Amino acid sequence: MRADELVKQREHLLRGEEVKKFVWYAADLKETLMRVHRQSYTNTAEDFKDSELLLQDFIRRYSDETEEIPLTTENSRVFL
């Protein structure tokens, strides 16, 4: 009962925009990581060539490439 009461008190936070953005980010991260795989076992950089591109694309979606250092503690929150 206490958990239901707490959820009811904070329901406006659960339905807020930041929670929606986080859920979207978490689903995108999960899908991206599911697609990462090792292509061969030659122990070279070529083993993860396609996976590296997938991860770079993911990082670009959630960072600002126009900055000199795109990932800092100031902009580390998930914003779409």
DSSP secondary-structure letter at 15?
T
In a domain, 21, yes or no: yes
- Structural domain harbouring 34: 2-61
Tell whether 73 is covered by a domain. Answer: no
pLDDT at residue 75 greater than cutoff 70: no
> How confident is the model over 15-57, as pLDDT tens digits?
888 888 888 999 999 999 999 888 888 888 788 888 899 999 9
Looking at the domain assignment, is residue 25 inside a domain? Answer: yes
User: Taking 80 as the threshold, does the pLDDT of residue 67 lie above it?
Assistant: no
Instruction: Give the count of domains, the chain.
Output: 1
Cα 14-15-21 angle, rounded to 5 deg: 90
What is residue 31's predicted lDDT score, i.e. its pLDDT? 94
Max intra-chain CA distance, the chain: 56
Contacts of 28 (CB under 8 A, 6+ apart): 58, 61
What pTM was estimated for this model as a whole? 0.68
Residue 57 falls within a domain, yes or no?
yes
Band (77; pLDDT cuts 50, 70, 90): low
